[in-house]
Structure 1
Amino acid sequence: MTLVRLALQNYQCFAQRQEVEIRPITVVFGKNNSGKSALVRSPLVIATGMHGLSPVPLDLAELGEDAPDFIDLVHNRLDHGSVGIELEFREPIRCSWTIQNVIESQTQVVSRCRIDVRGESATFTWSDADDTDESEERPYYVSGPGKASDEPIGVRFSGLIPEHDFVRGREIKEAFGEIRHLGPFRTRPARLGRLTARRPAQDQFGSRTAEILIHDHVRSRGRLIGKINEYLGDHLPDWRLEVIPRYDAYAVGLKSLKARNLWVSAADSGTGVAQVLPILVQRAQDELDRPADDILEIVEEPELHMHPSAQAALADLYIRAVHKTRVRFLIETHSETFLLRLRRRVAEKRLRADELALYYVESDGEASTVQRVNVDEAGNVYDWPDEIFAENFEEVRAMTEAQTERLDTDAR
């Protein structure tokens, strides 16, 4: 099953309900501090209520040391505020929640939950007037297939999922699936690394990249490295990725195919190479060992520190991934080149228009909105926002005006 639609209300910078359709490649763009990161990271926040066993709706501590407090998720950080979340899956399954902050007891409660599974609906409405018990069960008016409670009954929530006969909790959790996240600042590989007993799992900083490559070199005869070098062939044709032994450790670097004995440690390579390596590693892993289940991968600024030609190549890499694996992508970008390549591939029929969704996030200083930018089968876009990626035109116009003024001055 697959998540196909996400909606948020009163969530961080989004005061009004904002909806995003999740397609194989969903791209979010906009100016700095407009709310792009809040939008693309929201599935990570929701996942803390889907896969955890906490009695609170969102177990934000799962997000790590820098996790937000719930009040940070509420628009304008209101003490008694709430957030709204809606999810739709392909089956079809639809779920919606209103999560209320209860400042007096320093906790949060699902104040309303509605779950629709193949035409059958269940609704849970919190009765706060009767909520005086300190137990994990709370009073709810419950309605389900052919039944409705006249009085509140005790219901325990496991994260966002009510434990009740009306609800197929396991099915909803499986439908939500796995969420991955690669942040905007990837860790530069260390100069030396050691072989691990098991293949390391990547993190949001790409900090395990060298360990993964070392493990592949020793345990899998460079199978992964070979696939990465296939990716690099068109863009670094004079170099190949290599792992070499160094004393009691290993080093990851680039070997020149032209200059004899020239080898550059990944720690000393260009910043763009260090930033893209975690992306290439994950793409190669998924292509060689296809995931059995659907995965939504969140990637922030994949183009960071990369030349425009390489930014376009990244777009092709993601297109290849959606056609060869069960991974879909929610991408935040500042790259016009990245977007242009996606549109070009639609026009060339290498990517279907219905496999791509573009969203523009805009802030008026008080709240943000999400605007869909439609792409047709020819790669044309409609409802394109004003002043986005218009900087080149403005610079050329200003330069032309300056040149004209200089010519007039010299002619006098």
Structure 2
Amino acid sequence: MLTWDMTWSLPKVLNINDPAKTKPTRLFSGEDLTISVEVAAKRRQVETQYMAYRFGKASFLISRKEEKSRYQLDTHDTDFRFVRTLGRAWDLPEPTKGYSYPDQAQTYFQNAQFLRIFESSYVEQIDNLLYLGPLREDPQRQYTWSGSNPSDVGPRGERTVEAILAADERGEKRNVRKRQKLMGFQETIAWWLRELGLIESFQVRELSEGSGLFRVFVKKTAASSEAALTDVGFGVSQILPVLTLLYYAPEGSSILMEQPEIHLHPAVQAGLADLFISVAKVRKLQLIVESHSEHLLTRMMRRIAERDTAYGNVSNDDVAVYFADNREGRSNLDNLRLNSDGVIENWPKDLFGDQFGEIIARETAVIKRRREEA
């Protein structure tokens, strides 16, 4: 048996009118939507037990009938009732795709058309769920682009340069902080690379007009000569997909990111926290980040303590921290209590190793060695 729930906020208040009334009569209104699903393995197949959307205080449920592979449509916590279409008193088939009512729900019931709104909202939300993995593509000497518009940078960042060129071609502008002037897409990427202390300048240029071949040029310092991306530190190419995705994704997207700190030195790892605060606030992104970086976490804790930062106001209510632990062969997620001072109140044992224990052991060893040498 597997059950799951997902809740999301709608872009604006949704009002649903009674489809049975000629004059607009509001039935439901709300800003949040929740889907709940339960599936079970039956005869080596996955079978949906129930699926429900909750909107406002009402639930709209399709559930499996006992001893039958047929389903019924019902409501909970509301006086609203689905009305059967005359001559269509049949049971419903199983829900499709794990999130969608069967097509028959629209034809067997006179007033079920609004259910499509819930399904469309779910699809839109999933389409705006983007992923970047921990193993990202090595930098290339040159890149090809035929004018395509990728949906994201790819799970390995393999479409990063395409995304940069597509955004530039569309003339997209971005704001790295509130109340600052808008910048071009490449200019935005270059701004953050300088802010993080990685390089001085960044630009993607076509090798010759109409060739469709492009090269990424960077300058390490203001006094440095321009060089190809392949000729500078590996970390620049690894953070480039991170930066690009955060500014290429549509506003309001949810982004899953694994180990964005790979191949970055500690100061840049800490700077990622500032980047995340900025895009979360300015671009309204939800970031789900899996990381092993103590520097990223401690910078985020510091920003929470400071509250009002150059990258945006951030509080402990904006951040959730979980510690993945393996106990008795099972993975567990422990919610770490992060207070308003940026302090984790239930810090797990050896979260990043026993740092203070290492210092004490080192000092003890020094004292012992000096005594022996005296």
AA at the equivalent of 2:146: T
Instruction: Determine if the alignment matches structure 1 residue 265 to structure 2 residue 228.
Output: yes
CA 1:268–1:159 in structure 2 vs 1: closer, same or farther (change >3 Å)? same
The aligned residue for residue 162 of structure 1 is: 101
- 113-122 or 348-357: bigger deviation: 113-122
AA at the equivalent of 2:91: I
Displacement after TM superposition at 1:358 (Å): 0.9
Report the Cα distance in structure 2 between the residues aligned to 1:302 and 1:173, rounded to whole angstroms. 31
- 344-353 or 164-173: bigger deviation: 164-173
Displacement after TM superposition at 1:155 (Å): 2.9
Instruction: Determine if the alignment matches structure 1 residue 349 to structure 2 residue 311.
Output: no
Within-5 A mapping of 1:83-102: 83-90=2-9, 91-102=31-42
Displacement after TM superposition at 1:235 (Å): 3.3
Contact persistence 1:87–1:94 (CA under 8 A)? yes
Displacement after TM superposition at 1:348 (Å): 1.0
Displacement after TM superposition at 1:355 (Å): 1.0
CA 1:366–1:173 in structure 2 vs 1: closer, same or farther (change >3 Å)? farther
For residue 118 of structure 1, the aligned residue among 47, 53, 56 is 56
3-state SS of paired residue (1:317): helix
The aligned residue for residue 367 of structure 2 is: 404
Normalization by structure 2: what TM-score? Answer: 0.75
For structure 2, list consecutive stretches of 5 or more residues without a partner in the other structure: 10-30, 84-88, 106-111, 173-182, 309-313
Displacement after TM superposition at 1:299 (Å): 0.9
Aligned positions, number: 314
Report the Cα distance in structure 2 between the residues aligned to 1:240 and 1:349, rounded to whole angstroms. 31
Report the Cα distance in structure 2 between the residues aligned to 1:285 and 1:92, rounded to whole angstroms. 25
AA at the equivalent of 2:189: I
Instruction: Determine if the alignment matches structure 1 residue 227 to structure 2 residue 185.
Output: no
Displacement after TM superposition at 1:332 (Å): 0.7
3-state SS of paired residue (1:362): strand
Report the Cα distance in structure 1 between the residues aligned to 2:52 and 2:372, rounded to whole angstroms. 71
CA 1:213–1:189 in structure 2 vs 1: closer, same or farther (change >3 Å)? farther
3-state SS of paired residue (1:95): strand
CA 1:212–1:88 in structure 2 vs 1: closer, same or farther (change >3 Å)? closer
Instruction: Determine if the alignment matches structure 1 residue 335 to structure 2 residue 306.
Output: no
Report the Cα distance in structure 1 between the residues aligned to 2:60 and 2:166, rounded to whole angstroms. 48
AA at the equivalent of 1:270: G
Q: Indicate the structure whose relative CO is greater, using CA pairs within 8 Å and at least 6 residues apart.
A: 1
Report the Cα distance in structure 2 between the residues aligned to 1:345 and 1:325, rounded to whole angstroms. 18
CA 1:114–1:234 in structure 2 vs 1: closer, same or farther (change >3 Å)? closer
Normalization by structure 1: what TM-score? Answer: 0.68
Displacement after TM superposition at 1:338 (Å): 0.6
CA 1:391–1:156 in structure 2 vs 1: closer, same or farther (change >3 Å)? same
The aligned residue for residue 339 of structure 2 is: 376
Contact persistence 2:8–2:33 (CA under 8 A)? yes
Report the Cα distance in structure 2 between the residues aligned to 1:238 and 1:277, rounded to whole angstroms. 12
Displacement after TM superposition at 1:375 (Å): 1.8
After superposition, the C-alpha distances for 1:286-309 in whole angstroms (9 at most, x for unaligned) are: 5xxxx35x2111111111111111
Larger radius of gyration: 2
AA at the equivalent of 1:111: Q
For structure 1, list consecutive stretches of 5 or more residues without a partner in the other structure: 1-81, 132-138
Within-5 A mapping of 1:209-358: 209-215=160-166, 220=171, 223-236=184-197, 239-246=200-207, 248=211, 249-259=213-223, 262-285=225-248, 291=250, 294-350=252-308, 351-358=314-321
Contact persistence 1:140–1:152 (CA under 8 A)? no
For residue 199 of structure 1, the aligned residue among 144, 149, 152 is 149
AA at the equivalent of 1:193: Y
Report the Cα distance in structure 2 between the residues aligned to 1:111 and 1:238, rounded to whole angstroms. 55
Report the Cα distance in structure 2 between the residues aligned to 1:362 and 1:238, rounded to whole angstroms. 37
3-state SS of paired residue (1:157): coil
CA 1:148–1:384 in structure 2 vs 1: closer, same or farther (change >3 Å)? farther
AA at the equivalent of 2:336: V
3-state SS of paired residue (1:382): coil
AA at the equivalent of 1:230: W
CA RMSD after TM alignment: 2.9
AA at the equivalent of 1:192: Q
Give the share of equivalent positions with the same residue, in percent. Answer: 22
AA at the equivalent of 1:89: W
Displacement after TM superposition at 1:121 (Å): 2.0
Report the Cα distance in structure 1 between the residues aligned to 2:37 and 2:129, rounded to whole angstroms. 19
Instruction: Determine if the alignment matches structure 1 residue 187 to structure 2 residue 137.
Output: yes
Report the Cα distance in structure 1 between the residues aligned to 2:164 and 2:113, rounded to whole angstroms. 47
Contact persistence 1:254–1:263 (CA under 8 A)? yes
Displacement after TM superposition at 1:186 (Å): 1.4
Structure 1 stretches of 4+ with a deviation exceeding 6 A read none
